[in-house]
Structure 1
Amino acid sequence: MSPLRIVWRLLLLLLHVLAGIWLSLSIHKTRLSDDKILPDPEPVARWSGRLLKIMGIQVITHGDPPREPGLIVSNHISWVDIPTINALTGAAFLSKNSIRYWPVIGWFAIASGTVFIRRGNHEAQRVSSAIAERLREERNLAIFPEGSTSDGRQVRRFFPRLFGAAIDAHSPVIPIALRYSHDGKLDQKIPYTKGRSFFLILFNVLARKNSEVHVVFCEPIPSAGRDRRSLAEASYAAIQAALATLPVS
């Protein structure tokens, strides 16, 4: 661990956050045909990419990024998943509604076009409809269908409920497999699992020279002719197969 490295990266991170606050306030927005206004995804994606570089995280991609927008589904390991996927695809995400009011993070959630979730009756249907609407607007939207994070060794079963949005919007499902490594081995310090805080993970990442995240773009899965369960099962199988190809012990 190098104290000088930590201090330098923290300084860069602070400046980057300040620049991001200005970005979130000044980001260009696109007016759609129905007069809805959405933020342009590219500036936020560039900000996310720079964030990863400041943290010393090298992104290694396998396969081709999606050529058309769709419902991105990924295994979920850490909060680092979000800037990683955003940097590569410009995707927005689902988030609990309280995040909207958090300083800095909430501003960026709004700036990236996040779909916010409230607890309550019929919320699942409302969220699915909101996702489908975003997909019809030809924007990438990413979900983590496991519902929680894992330690990166395995993929939990996928809940099929939100896959119906891709069917309703006639959009493809785009599976993405994530795996973090350090010194050629599975990264033990980056998973956002029970007992680990946001700041502990941030400190661990900033303290070492570099980290790696492998991102595998699987073949898009057409939603036509499928139901939610079959889409979930096909996505799960694709991500499992992709992770098996990665040379990380």
Structure 2
Amino acid sequence: MSTLRLVLRLLHLFAVIALGALLAALISLGERLARHDLLALRQRISRWYLARLAGVLPFRVHLRGERPQAAMLWVSNHVSWTDIPLLGLIAPLSFLSKAEVRDWPLAGWLAHKAGTLFIRRGAGDSSALNAQLGERLQAGHSPLLFPEATTTDGRAVRTFHGRLLSSAIDNQVAVQPVAIRYRRNGERDDVAPFIGDDSMGAHLLRLLACEVSDVEITLLPPIASHGLNRNELARRAQAVISTVVLEAEVVAEVAEEEEGAAA
């Protein structure tokens, strides 16, 4: 059964990727003809497309909280590459990703056409990226960052780096914290995290062969950036997201203890 499930999902994935390549090509042609950046259109199309991509993945999405009506700088904990299509189907967002993703076959090109900004670790390009993020915020578009700068197993939230949160302060916009949790049969999902030396291909095959699990996405109250420096803003965002992530771990531990006591 798992083999058949994997084959069917792979066929579905190839069809969605082909659709993405077609859309990206059409957008590129449209921008050449219009002779200007069509970021707003790209974000709307990206949201629609990411919903199609998320539909390939074996997840049921549970959304909590209210979507912001104004442009904000979104920040989220980071568990897997799957965070991007799952968060991207919620609202028109553009993402910030590590520079290596730009070189991924096809996926890097699609990410670039979707409006992703790429950062090279240790390259000292924070000022330039903050300026680009500021331009998008001023134009009414919402970028999303993963301030942990790496993925985790979902047990806890690592330290948030505040250097790219300056764009929210400089442009006087709020920060929208988002907590994402992967759950399987009421416990933390060990398959979803994309960590360590795991390869993209191996992780994808392992994930697509699995039964459907749950993803809980919580939109927390926005944090006003006025009067805060970037590190204070990062600490506040990390704290509220950690509360949600750690809550699930505590509930799971209590349930395990109760099962042990009953046995």
TM-score (norm 2): 0.86
* Counterpart code for 1:236: Q
Distance in 1 (alpha carbons) for counterparts of 2:109 and 2:27: 11
RMSD: 2.2
After TM superposition, list the pairs within 5 Å mapping 1:31-42 onto structure 2.
Answer: 36-38=37-39, 39-42=41-44
Distance in 2 (alpha carbons) for counterparts of 1:121 and 1:245: 36
Q: Relative to structure 2, which stretch is displaced further, 79-88 or 20-29?
A: 20-29
Please say if 1:171 is aligned against 2:212. Answer: no
Q: Which has the higher helix share?
A: 2
The superposition leaves residues 81-123 of structure 1 with CA deviations (integer Å, 9 ceiling, x where unpaired) of 1111111122111124453344321222122211222467641
Distance in 2 (alpha carbons) for counterparts of 1:119 and 1:236: 21
SS of structure 2 residue aligned to 1:60: strand
* Counterpart code for 2:199: S
Distance in 2 (alpha carbons) for counterparts of 1:149 and 1:99: 14
After TM superposition, list the pairs within 5 Å mapping 1:44-193 onto structure 2.
Answer: 44-118=46-120, 122-193=124-195
Distance in 2 (alpha carbons) for counterparts of 1:114 and 1:3: 34
* Counterpart code for 1:21: A
Instruction: Give the gaps of 5 or more residues in structure 2.
Output: 253-263
SS of structure 2 residue aligned to 1:13: helix
Match of 2:259 in 1: none
* Counterpart code for 2:7: V
Distance in 2 (alpha carbons) for counterparts of 1:98 and 1:203: 21
Whether the aligned pair in 2 keeps the contact of 1:218 and 1:242 (CA below 8 Å) is: no
Distance in 2 (alpha carbons) for counterparts of 1:199 and 1:101: 15
Whether the aligned pair in 1 keeps the contact of 2:75 and 2:144 (CA below 8 Å) is: yes
TM-score (norm 1): 0.90
Over the matched positions of the two proteins, sequence identity in percent amounts to 36
Please say if 1:23 is aligned against 2:29. Answer: no
SS of structure 1 residue aligned to 2:196: coil
Distance in 1 (alpha carbons) for counterparts of 2:118 and 2:182: 27
Largest Rg, 1 or 2: 2
